[in-house]
């Protein structure tokens, strides 16, 4: 599995760029032109995202944010841990 940055706020995990774009197009109900306008491409599985502290081993050092405890983990760690095999939004950010 790979991770693709679809725009400023969403990252999709999928087996290929085409699969990521098709999944995202169906998910948000837009056309291919909209996807292409903001699509940034494949990112490293070493890139980090925040996950809830309750989803990681206790030895990790969480930090508080918006009333929850969080830990920074790589996309690769999340894919392995959650056994992701189908396209999905792996990470999303609201501005």
- Is the pTM value of this prediction over 0.85? yes
Domain span including residue 32 = 2-92
Residue of 75, 87, 92, 93 whose CA lies nearest to 23: 87
pLDDT tens column, 67-92: 888 899 999 999 999 999 999 999 99
How many independent structural domains does the chain possess?
Answer: 1
Residue of 86, 74, 81 whose CA lies nearest to 19: 86
* pLDDT band with cut points at 50, 70 and 90 for residue 58: confident
């Amino acid at each position: 599995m790979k991770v693709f940055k679809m725009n400023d706020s969403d990252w999709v995990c999928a087996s290929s760029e085409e699969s990521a774009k098709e999944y995202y197009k169906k998910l948000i109900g837009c056309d291919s032109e909209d996807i292409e306008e903001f699509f940034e491409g494949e990112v490293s599985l070493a890139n980090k995202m925040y996950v809830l502290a309750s989803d990681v081993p206790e030895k990790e050092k969480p930090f508080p944010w918006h009333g929850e405890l969080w830990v920074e983990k790589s996309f690769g760690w999340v894919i392995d841990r959650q056994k992701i095999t189908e396209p999905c939004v792996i990470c999303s950010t609201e501005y």
